[in-house]
């Protein structure tokens, strides 16, 4: 049996090897990466069910007065997240092997391996110390991947690193407060102590929980910390975006489920509102607000990757809402949606990466009609957005249905309506992306050059399609293994393959699939029985009889989905005007101004007198008031 | 064994005199002398440290409260080993033109400075400390001015002004202490300081602290920092950043038993340290000149050390020792690599280092690791210092200070990774790596940083010994004054 510690060390060693020796052999390092992830998947599969497994490292750390031996523990929650991390990275590695273009940075593999090591640490650790170490390693490793050695991407990667640092600092402070209070840094024993603390003296538990929650929400891209998500996704290498969206955003969800949710749902004894602790209620609403705002922002987005990033933020919002409900159904729905989202969003980003691979574009206004040239990619994307929009029979439907059921079961009607709005919006902007990229008329450049991606890159797409459809028809294949996981959250329903239990009713996914297939058959029948299609040149039908030349429009410039949702964008213009981005930029600008003024204190010796006075004043004020 | 302790101070002075006779010879003889002396210091202090022996040497046979004593206990030996290691690396690998400490004149001054730094750490007498401090200050004035550019002279001049003022104030404070307690022996002082009245005690200690705060680059005694760091030759930058500030930090840790007897003084120093931290790091956030930036960062790190000491407790001292060591190692790396970069690109603006990772991949990695260590990112040594420090602050319920430290850490992380990011951005330039030998010491130091970062257990025994020695005045007093029994 290979221990988890060995797997982590192996990843770090491989990272060093690829960084030092294999910088010139990109393909070889990707093969190594692939082998490592496959091996980890194998090791993890053997670990499944062995929930009492733990190991202690042969090192001892003295942290303050706490003498600790770090170690790892196999818990269902951590197992599931790490399994998905490894499996998705494994799928992604095929894609990256094919993707290895000349512009593809060589720095990706070593840093990605560091991220894998860090994520194994975070998911399996039994104490907070290793959790912090893994958590902060994610930040700088991702920074270097996202920047990829390009000056114009530096700002986006820095915004990710900044939020990562903020999250890390909040985490350290919260962990220390836990450590000082309970004299131990063990995650699982302090959970129990925290539940008791929250029951007896909620005001002592509140700051700790708040800091932890904020730290985790930053990593999930919740409002108002969402601004890193579109920037990081946009700038990241095309084959790393699936990982950011599928996995990195879920680290926050993992943290919440690991620590905050059990305490809030079990131990909170403060004020409650609508039958929910105020704390959980506020953050449930924050999830809804996040998804609503992300949806509105996605409407006006022209960049495919940024649009999908906003979609990821919106999905993180659904998950946050669901898990903060605290009911077994809510947590189950949230978890299932998290895993489903990992699959379908990773697949969607892979298709976008495939498009980038062939066209080099992410601007949707410069694409169109690629469906004829890249049919497999198109099919994958289509199934992906059906899943993302939450339409039967794909996997996104089941989990969204469960979240709605959980909301309705707790009688949160407002939340349900707000979430329904966000979900409908998701359908609209996803369709727009589909249309802009794959439908409509193809540009002349693309007509000549673009073809389907190589087979190696198609492998993960095929697997993704099968997974999305299979888990949509038989969600039991995921829900059944999840039973030990749900047991830790107090639900012991035994799942069947195709019937999902809600709070108001149950859903037979096989039945809804049959209906869907019937619909497809009827539509196909109408299509084949009706009049034959005939091709028309682009300028004939798009411009309603106007002469395009008068407007200076040529077929190459014409893009049907340009300004697609302009009315909706106008409708929300008031909201978009006050963006959080601007507030952050303003703050950064002010910081620079202050820095310049302080520089003047040091460099201009005319100011020394004032400086001395300032120091003296600080001492006097401190002596008097602190 | 006793002679070693004296040799640690005597040998560099002897070497400084010896260099005069080799003034006409090749530079390698000077380098050989300096390397031998500093290597001897490193090895012997490390041997003493690991043999866990503490010893006290009464110079001239005068019994401790009356004569001067040298104290090599578990705390001071750590720092002697540290500064000797760094001086060895400067002397051996510094290179002749770049660091400008290896010709016979400045070499002699450098040796004098080493002796003075070791003396400041080892001495158990407050006035003797002052003498060594002046010795170090005078050598550093000259060495800063040897940078040879305009800002070398302004930097040296500013350092003379502030340093002179601070040492005068310190002398005044020492005078008051001697007058009121009748002793200059630090151990004796620890026992008798309680006899002095509150206000007089605060005044005297405050004045004594002026000199230490100058070395620690705490606001408002750090106004010389940007110009001196900019103008000093590369070797002297390392001395300023890694040795003199380390000595300042050590002295404050040593005086901790005296400090905690004065809660009022701690109250006054806390806002000063916070202000220093904020000002230094925000100034660095805006700075474009790499050496000034590193100088500001030194000031910020030393403010962190001061805060850790003021938080107090075992954890606070642990954090302070850890941060001082981590800072000394990382700052030396940054200055070595910075000198290498400057030699390669002929520019000190970090924005012109774009794409240097192609030319000098090892240099870029070393810079990044050291920068991350200073920020306190896990895997590097600085993490453990920052972790303990936040714990110490929260344990003593200084929530406001901790909030500021966390925010400032973010600022620090951003401006350091900004430079590392610049190194890794692609850029078409035909820069050639020059003076790559400057990377050798940096590699050694980075290996230490990473080793301790992954396995702090390897030195935690030593550091804990240092913490015990620093925290309990009784232990130190017993060590020094038992000698007379």
Per residue in B273-326, pLDDT (tens digit) is 998 999 899 989 888 899 999 999 999 999 999 999 999 888 899 999 999 999
> Could B220 and A598 be called an inter-chain contact, meaning their C-beta atoms sit closer than 8 Å?
no
pLDDT of residue B96: 44
- Nearest by CB: B424 against A61, A63, A147: A147
Number of Cα atoms under 13 Å in the Cβ half of residue A14:
25
pLDDT at res. B485: 46
Structural domain total, chain B: 1
Q: Please report the pLDDT score of residue B1 as a whole number.
A: 45
Q: For the residues A434-443, what does the mean pLDDT come to?
A: 83
Most confident residue range from A44-48, A149-153, B328-332: B328-332
- pLDDT at residue A558 above 70? no
* Beta-carbon contacts below 8 Å between A and B: 166
Per the CB < 8 Å rule, is A151 touching B426? yes
Question: How far off is chain A from B244, nearest CA to CA, in Å?
Answer: 20
Residue entry with tokens 């979240």: A403
Instruction: Identify the pLDDT of residue A216.
Output: 94
The pLDDT, as a whole number, for residue A325 is: 87
Question: Please, what's the b/e burial string for A357-394 (b: 16 or more CB within 10 A of its CB; e: otherwise)?
Answer: bbbebbebbbbbbbbebbebbbbbbbbbbbbbbbbbbb
At residue B360 the predicted structure's pLDDT band, cuts being 50, 70 and 90, is confident
> Is residue B52 exposed (0-12), middle (13-18) or buried (19+ Cβ within 10 Å)?
exposed
Neighbours of A48 (CB within 10 A): 14
* Structure confidence at residue A552 as a pLDDT band (50, 70, 90): low
| Lookup: tokens for B396 | 């003593």
Residue A625 pLDDT level (bands cut at 50, 70, 90): low
Q: What average pLDDT does the segment A141-161 reach?
A: 87
Asked if the Cβ–Cβ distance from A132 to B387 is below 8 Å, we say yes
Shortest CA distance to B375 belongs to which of B340, B427, B347, B416?
B416
Cα A73 → chain centroid:
25
pLDDT band at A544 (very low <50, low <70, confident <90, very high): low
> What is the per-residue burial (b if ≥16 Cβ within 10 Å, else e) of B56-91?
bbbeeeeebbeebbbbbbbbbbbbbbbbbbbbbbbb
Rounded to 5 degrees, φ, ψ at A238 are: -55, -30
Whether A147 sits inside 8 A of B391 (CB atoms) is no
Residues of A in contact with B354 (CB under 8 A): 151
How far apart CA B445 and CA B334 sit, in angstroms, is 10
Look up the domain containing B376 and give its range.
2-484
Decide which of A538 and A374 is more confident. Answer: A374
CA distance A13 to A573: 51
Q: Does the CA dihedral A15-A21-A27-A31 come out positive or negative?
A: negative
DSSP three-state, residue B431:
coil
The tokens for A186 are: 């063990």
What CA–CA distance (Å, rounded) separates B482 from A285?
68
Q: Which residues 6+ apart lie within 8 Å of A284 measured at CB?
A: A276, A320, A321, A324, A325, A412, A415
Helix axes A328-359, A395-409, angle to 10 degrees: 150
Rounded CA gap, A565 and A553, in Å?
20
For the residues B476-480, what does the mean pLDDT come to? 80
Average the pLDDT over B26-34 and give the result. Answer: 79
Q: Is A116 within 8 Å of A4 (Cβ atoms)?
A: no
* pLDDT at A393 > cutoff 80: yes
In this predicted structure, what is the pLDDT of residue B3?
67
Q: A108-124 vs A26-47: helix axis angle to the nearest 10?
A: 10
Task: Identify the DSSP state of A442.
Answer: P
CA distances from A34 to A65, A88, A418, B321 (A): 42, 11, 42, 43
Chain A contact set for B418 (CB, 8 A) = 154, 158
Confidence of residue B460 (pLDDT cuts 50, 70, 90): confident
Report CA torsion sign: B400, B401, B407, B410: negative
Residue B286 to residue B293: CA distance in whole angstroms? 8
Mean per-residue pLDDT for B157-180? 89
B226-258 tens-digit pLDDT: 888 888 888 888 888 889 999 999 999 988 888
DSSP state letter for A606: G
Chain B residue nearest residue A597, CA to CA: B283
B148 interfaces chain A, CB cutoff of 8 Å: no
pLDDT tops 90 at residue A487: no
Kindly give, in sequence order, each residue whose CB lies less than 8 Å from that of residue A437, ignoring residues fewer than 6 positions away.
Answer: A304, A352, A355, A364, A367, A368, A370, A381
Contacting B residues, span 208-267, partner chain A, CB-CB under 8 Å: 219-220, 222-223, 225-227, 264, 267
Residue A251: partners with Cβ closer than 8 Å, 6 or more residues away: A119, A122, A135, A138, A216, A219, A220
Q: What is the 3-state secondary structure (H, E, C) of A154-172?
A: HHHHHHHHHHHHHHHHHHH
Q: How confident is the model over A306-357, as pLDDT tens digits?
A: 999 999 999 999 999 999 988 888 899 999 999 999 999 999 999 998 888 8
Q: Is the per-residue pLDDT at A559 higher than 70?
A: no
Whether A614 sits inside 8 A of B220 (CB atoms) is yes
Token readout for A30 is 């990707």
Give the separation between CA A126 and CA A349, rounded to whole angstroms: 33
The whole-number average pLDDT for the span A179-183 is 87
Q: Of B227, B406, B460, which has the smallest distance from its Cβ to A169's Cβ? A: B406
* B377–A139 CB contact, under 8 Å: yes
Percent of chain B surpassing pLDDT 70: 96
For the CA atoms of A161, A167, A173, A179, the dihedral, rounded to the nearest 10 degrees, stands at -110
Distance in angstroms (rounded) separating the CA atoms of residues B485 and B480: 10
Neighbours of B53 (CB within 10 A): 13
The predicted pLDDT at position B98 comes to 46
A526 to chain B, closest Cα gap in Å: 56
Tracing tokens 């004299």 back to the chain, one arrives at A183
E strands, B122-189, are none
CB < 8 Å to B372, chain A: 140
For A260, which DSSP code?
Answer: I
Q: What is the mean pLDDT of residues A14-27?
A: 85
Interface of B with A in 444-483 (CB under 8 A): 455-457, 460, 464
Contact partners, residue A590, CB within 8 Å, separation at least 6: none
Q: Cα separation of A529 and B315, whole Å?
A: 81
Using one digit for the tens of pLDDT, what is the confidence trace for B83-139? 999 999 988 876 544 445 556 677 888 889 999 999 999 998 889 999 999 999 998
Question: A267-320 pLDDT, tens per residue?
Answer: 666 677 777 788 888 898 999 999 988 888 888 888 889 999 999 999 999 999
pLDDT digits (tens, 9 = 90+) for B422-446: 888 887 777 787 777 888 889 999 9
Query: What is the per-residue pLDDT for A34?
Result: 92
Averaged pLDDT of chain B: 86
């Amino acid at each position: 049996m290979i221990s988890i510690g060995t797997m982590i060390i192996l990843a770090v060693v491989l990272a060093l090897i690829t960084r030092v020796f294999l910088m010139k052999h990109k393909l070889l390092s990707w093969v190594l990466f692939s082998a490592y992830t496959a091996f980890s998947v194998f090791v993890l599969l053997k670990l499944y069910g062995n929930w009492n497994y733990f190991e202690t490292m042969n090192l001892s750390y003295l942290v303050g007065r706490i003498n600790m031996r770090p170690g790892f523990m196999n818990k269902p929650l951590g197992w599931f997240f790490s399994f998905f991390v490894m499996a998705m990275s494994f799928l992604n590695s095929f894609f990256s092997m094919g993707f290895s273009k000349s512009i593809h940075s060589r720095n990706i593999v070593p840093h990605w391996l560091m991220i894998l090591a860090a994520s194994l640490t975070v998911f399996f650790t039994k104490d907070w110390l290793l959790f912090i170490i893994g958590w902060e390693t994610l930040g700088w490793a991702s920074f270097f991947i996202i920047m990829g050695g390009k000056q114009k991407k530096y700002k986006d990667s820095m915004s990710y690193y900044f939020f990562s640092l903020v999250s890390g600092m909040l985490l350290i402070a919260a962990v220390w407060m836990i450590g000082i209070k309970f004299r131990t840094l063990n995650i699982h024993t302090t959970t129990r102590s925290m539940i008791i603390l929250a029951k007896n003296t909620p005001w002592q538990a509140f700051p700790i929980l708040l800091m932890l929650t904020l730290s985790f929400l930053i990593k999930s891209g919740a409002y108002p910390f969402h601004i890193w998500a579109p920037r990081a996704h946009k700038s990241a290498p095309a084959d790393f975006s699936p990982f950011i969206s599928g996995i990195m955003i879920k680290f926050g969800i993992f943290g919440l489920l690991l620590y905050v949710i059990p305490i809030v749902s079990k131990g909170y004894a403060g004020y409650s509102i609508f039958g929910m602790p105020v704390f959980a209620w506020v953050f449930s609403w924050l999830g809804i607000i996040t998804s609503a705002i992300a949806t509105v922002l996605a409407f006006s987005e022209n960049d495919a990757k940024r649009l999908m990033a906003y979609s990821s933020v919106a999905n993180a919002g659904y998950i946050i809402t669901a898990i903060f409900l605290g009911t077994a159904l809510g947590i189950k729905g949230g978890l299932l949606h998290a895993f489903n989202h990992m699959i379908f969003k990773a697949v969607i980003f892979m298709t976008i990466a495939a498009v980038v691979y062939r066209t080099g574009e992410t601007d949707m206004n410069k694409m169109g009609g690629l469906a004829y040239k890249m049919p497999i990619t198109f099919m994958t994307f289509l199934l992906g957005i059906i899943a993302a929009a939450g339409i039967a029979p794909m996997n996104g439907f089941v989990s969204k249905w469960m979240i709605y059921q959980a909301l309705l079961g707790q009688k949160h009607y407002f939340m349900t309506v707000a979430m329904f709005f966000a979900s409908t919006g998701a359908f609209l902007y996803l369709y727009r992306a589909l249309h802009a990229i794959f439908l409509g008329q193809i540009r002349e450049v693309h007509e000549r050059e673009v073809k389907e991606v190589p087979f190696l890159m198609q492998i993960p797409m095929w697997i993704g399609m099968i997974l999305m459809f299979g888990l949509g028809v038989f969600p039991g294949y995921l829900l059944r293994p999840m039973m030990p996981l749900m047991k830790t959250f107090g639900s012991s329903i035994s799942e069947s393959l195709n019937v999902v239990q809600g709070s108001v009713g149950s859903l037979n996914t096989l039945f809804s699939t049959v209906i869907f297939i019937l619909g497809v058959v009827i539509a196909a029948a109408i299509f084949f029985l009706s009049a034959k299609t005939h091709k028309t040149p682009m300028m004939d039908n798009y411009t309603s009889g106007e002469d395009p030349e008068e407007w200076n429009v040529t077929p190459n410039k014409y893009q049907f989905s340009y300004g697609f949702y302009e009315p909706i964008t106008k409708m929300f213009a008031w909201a978009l005007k006050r963006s959080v981005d601007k507030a952050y930029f303003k703050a950064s600008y002010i910081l620079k101004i202050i820095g310049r003024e302080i520089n003047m204190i040091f460099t201009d010796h005319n100011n020394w007198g004032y400086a001395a006075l300032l120091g003296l004043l600080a001492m006097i004020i401190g002596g008097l008031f602190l | 064994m006793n002679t070693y302790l004296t040799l640690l101070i005597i040998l560099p002075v002897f070497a400084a005199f010896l260099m005069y006779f080799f003034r006409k010879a090749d530079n390698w003889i000077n380098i050989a002398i300096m390397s031998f002396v500093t290597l001897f210091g490193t090895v012997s202090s490390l041997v003493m440290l690991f043999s866990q022996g503490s010893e006290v040497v009464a110079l001239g046979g005068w019994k401790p409260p009356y004569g001067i004593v040298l104290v090599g206990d578990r705390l001071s030996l750590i720092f002697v080993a540290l500064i000797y290691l760094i001086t060895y690396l400067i002397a051996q690998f510094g290179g002749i033109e770049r660091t400008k400490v290896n010709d016979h004149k400045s070499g002699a001054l450098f040796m004098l400075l080493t002796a003075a730094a070791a003396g400041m750490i080892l001495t158990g007498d407050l006035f003797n400390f002052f003498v060594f401090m002046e010795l170090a200050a005078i050598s550093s004035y000259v060495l800063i001015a040897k940078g040879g550019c305009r800002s070398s002279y302004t930097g040296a001049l500013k350092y003379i002004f502030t340093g002179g003022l601070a040492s005068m104030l310190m002398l005044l404070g020492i005078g008051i202490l001697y007058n009121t307690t009748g002793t200059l022996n630090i151990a004796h002082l620890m026992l008798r300081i309680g006899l002095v009245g509150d206000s007089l005690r605060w005044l005297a200690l405050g004045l004594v602290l002026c000199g230490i705060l100058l070395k620690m680059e705490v606001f408002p005694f750090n106004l010389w920092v940007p110009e001196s760091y900019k103008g000093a030759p590369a070797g002297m930058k390392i001395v300023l950043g890694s040795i003199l500030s380390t000595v300042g930090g050590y002295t404050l840790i040593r005086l901790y038993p005296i400090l905690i007897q004065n809660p009022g003084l701690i109250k006054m120093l806390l806002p000063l340290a916070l202000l220093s931290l904020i000002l230094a790091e925000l100034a660095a956030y805006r700075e474009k000149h790499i050496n000034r930036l590193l100088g500001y960062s030194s000031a910020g790190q030393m403010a962190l050390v001061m805060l850790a000491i003021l938080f107090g407790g075992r954890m606070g001292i642990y954090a302070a020792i850890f941060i001082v060591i981590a800072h000394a190692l990382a700052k030396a790396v940054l200055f070595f690599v910075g000198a290498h970069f400057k030699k390669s690109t002929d520019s000190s603006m970090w924005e012109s280092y774009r794409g240097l990772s192609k030319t000098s991949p090892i240099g870029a990695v070393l810079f990044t690791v050291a920068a991350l260590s200073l920020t306190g990112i896990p895997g590097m040594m600085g993490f453990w210092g920052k972790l303990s420090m936040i714990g110490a602050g929260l344990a003593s319920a200084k929530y406001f200070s901790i909030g500021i430290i966390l925010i400032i850490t973010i600022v620090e992380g951003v401006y350091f990774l900004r430079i590392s990011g610049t190194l890794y951005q692609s850029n078409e330039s035909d820069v050639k790596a020059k003076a790559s030998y400057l990377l050798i010491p940096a590699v050694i130091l980075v290996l230490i940083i990473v080793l301790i970062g992954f396995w702090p257990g390897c030195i935690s025994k030593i550091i804990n010994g240092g913490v015990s020695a620093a925290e309990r005045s009784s232990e130190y007093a017993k060590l020094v004054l038992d000698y007379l029994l």
